Structure 1
């Protein structure tokens, strides 16, 4: 029996308006007990069966109300599906998901925009965030670590927009990325050595390219006897070392006070005797402080940045430093970058949905007023795809220059032999 959207909305409103939330709030983590309680409430209000629902239809409505009370409504099954990485809601009828790098339309919907907006507001309230007409944009980290962004009317014209970047439960390592053909074994070994040798690394890439996944994977090779401080807008890093201090930015409160931005965290982290500072993502004026940290004894620091190529990453770093101070000459900014950053690792999401490390590039210094870059590894795609329609290609080892800063670090950390094995036959 199909239930019209009109009847679904009537029953939903009656149930929620008459529901004593305190009676069921403690059952949110136990779905079976919540369903049992809702059955009793449903029978109490609809014992005359005025909507002529059969048993199957009644349980459909009870399930729907349970999903909404628990938080995600029609998105519940998508949140429980580990193969789904992103959920993108463009109004009540248009729900899309990303699975294995490919976007597809989901087979579910909200009753109407009111239900969608109500659920979005409740999700924000659960993490002490507010969204309404006076503040129609909201960003939050959910209790499970997933990132939530909500935009409501009057900003969105076709209904509330809701975006969820699900927290990855599978904490991937470089071996997992190797098995996924995201990089070659030589590249993986090189990145392990670079991490252990305390090279300063920037991971560059677009949205959904796997930057944070790679940053997590590289962090596994940091020594357990180092003091690590992680700084993030939304906590996603999962370091396994014993001596880790995790910090997260904070939005302004209801009275527009109490904000703690990334620059505040970076400045404070420098006073905490860190061995390494890991910034989840550089996106603003805190970049200058990060480079200063890399230049003042905090080797082995890492961060991510939104850019499409290693050269674009340099330009982005320059632009973000100028956000904080336009008085610094561009050549001074570039010299700061070249003296602070050793490697740029470019992550890309290909058009077949796969993720690849397309470049591992070393910053070699300055040539006149320009930053000199040298590819150590790169991915060269094949002209034709394989039999499964997937992108194929070759990871090319370009070799390591004699004046490489990573080579010097490998000597200091007694890892020259391991490094040379990677570049036998490719050294220049």
Structure 2
């Protein structure tokens, strides 16, 4: 019995030693592969004029890089198998033509966010949850080169005089980068992935993000030209819902979209997309969202869609909604529908125009018809948690009526949030407005369920 126990201990120790050796071997292989890649990359820079690549088609450029790399590997007599050689060549291709170490992450459709916290720390978000990766950059300069490549393609810059920037990738993914001296631990970058497969309202229903009963309600709201404000926190899905709602806008209407960094994917044929511009090296040439909102009013829009209000443009947006540009859509960062209206009040004050509080709230209550609150919960699921209608004013207070809500009931054994969607049983004031426009909604949609 004692012998068996000792034998079991020896087997365990042997297994641990073997696992440690395998881990050590893998680490050495990765290290050698990185050294070989750097050596071939340096040789490539000596024999190939990379400035000529800009004049080639991407596929032709990659073929040339691949051929030269394979010749250099043979000349250097690097002792590695075919799979490792292919991996080294692919990494060099990505380094020159793409975003280097980030390319495998960008190719993974399951990743929604890529978060680079310096050259040695890269995290991703899958299914609403963060997880670390084994992706590494060589050093700060390596990461800075990738950031500069991203921002320069959209005519923006990042340096010590302008150490933070918003940009986008070719596929529309949103990028934010910040570098020293503002970032103390080295360059930092976050990439909000652009959805390749566009979600529709039924997709949100299938994901459990909203109830099926709301689909015809949202369709009616947009087609009846009600002004909608989508409220939520960072990463809660505001832009996704804005995209989906914009799909209900009739194709014969002229739409002007205004964004800090273009993300919207409107499918209508008559869409004009506007994007802000940061100041140049001399601090001139900046074009703000407020200027674009003002200019859009002269462009004969049927609808104005603002990616997100975050400053003085809120005043111009309210005035547009109140002067014939109904059916407008926008988003705002806020935790509740009531907070969303308070944020609009604060942003109007940023415009420099002083309104009496009652007058300002009266403008807000007549401009915005619907507030949709969405949230990302701790299980990673995005959900619509409240749909409220703005009714008007009572004294100095904007009155709101909740029509639908998500009732949270706890957490299940898998850590998922339990709950149900329910209507409050209140028939909205916009019901008759929809009916006059030929949009019929059955009363039972608003019955408690």
**1:77 CA displacement:** 1.0
2:444 aligned with 1:418: no
1:21 maps to which of 32, 50, 57 = 50
Q: Is the 8 A contact 1:190 1:419 kept in 2?
A: no
What is the match of residue 42 of structure 1? 72
**Separation of aligned partners in 2, 1:328 and 1:13:** 63
What is the match of residue 3 of structure 1? 31
Q: Secondary structure at the match of 1:383?
A: strand
Q: Secondary structure at the match of 2:347?
A: helix
What is the match of residue 261 of structure 1? 288
**Separation of aligned partners in 2, 1:291 and 1:391:** 36
Q: Secondary structure at the match of 1:418?
A: coil
| Compared CA separation, residues 228 and 27, structure 1 to 2 (3 A) | closer
Q: Secondary structure at the match of 1:116?
A: helix
**Separation of aligned partners in 2, 1:302 and 1:318:** 17
2:302 aligned with 1:270: no
1:49-64 residue pairs with structure 2 within 5 A?
A: 49=77, 53-55=79-81, 58-64=85-91
Once superposed, what is the RMSD of the aligned Cα atoms?
Answer: 2.2
| CA offsets 1:192-251 (integer angstroms, 9 cap, x no match) | 111111111000001111111111111111122222111111222122222222211122
**Separation of aligned partners in 2, 1:383 and 1:48:** 62
Q: Is the 8 A contact 1:193 1:419 kept in 2?
A: no
**Separation of aligned partners in 2, 1:185 and 1:291:** 31
**Separation of aligned partners in 1, 2:297 and 2:385:** 33
2:198 maps to which of 171, 175, 180 = 171
**1:422 CA displacement:** 1.2
Q: Is the 8 A contact 2:426 2:447 kept in 1?
A: no
**Separation of aligned partners in 2, 1:195 and 1:30:** 46
What is the match of residue 225 of structure 1? 252
2:154 aligned with 1:127: yes
**Separation of aligned partners in 2, 1:17 and 1:206:** 49
**Separation of aligned partners in 2, 1:151 and 1:222:** 37
| Compared CA separation, residues 19 and 162, structure 1 to 2 (3 A) | farther
1:392 maps to which of 414, 418, 422 = 418
Q: Is the 8 A contact 1:34 1:66 kept in 2?
A: no
Q: Secondary structure at the match of 2:94?
A: helix
**Separation of aligned partners in 2, 1:418 and 1:344:** 19
| CA offsets 1:259-293 (integer angstroms, 9 cap, x no match) | 22111111111111211111111111000110111
Q: Secondary structure at the match of 2:31?
A: coil
**1:351 CA displacement:** 0.5
Greater C-alpha Rg? 2
| CA offsets 1:3-25 (integer angstroms, 9 cap, x no match) | 35667556545544664103444
Q: Is the 8 A contact 2:124 2:130 kept in 1?
A: yes
Q: Is the 8 A contact 2:390 2:399 kept in 1?
A: yes
> Tell me, which stretches of 5 or more residues in structure 2 are unaligned?
1-28
**Separation of aligned partners in 1, 2:254 and 2:44:** 52
2:188 maps to which of 161, 168, 193 = 161
2:330 maps to which of 290, 303, 319 = 303
**Separation of aligned partners in 1, 2:104 and 2:426:** 48
What is the match of residue 318 of structure 2? 291
Residue range with higher mean Cα deviation, 392-401 or 312-321: 392-401
Q: Secondary structure at the match of 2:177?
A: strand
| Compared CA separation, residues 351 and 338, structure 1 to 2 (3 A) | same
**Separation of aligned partners in 2, 1:339 and 1:181:** 32
> Tell me, which stretches of 5 or more residues in structure 1 are unaligned?
none
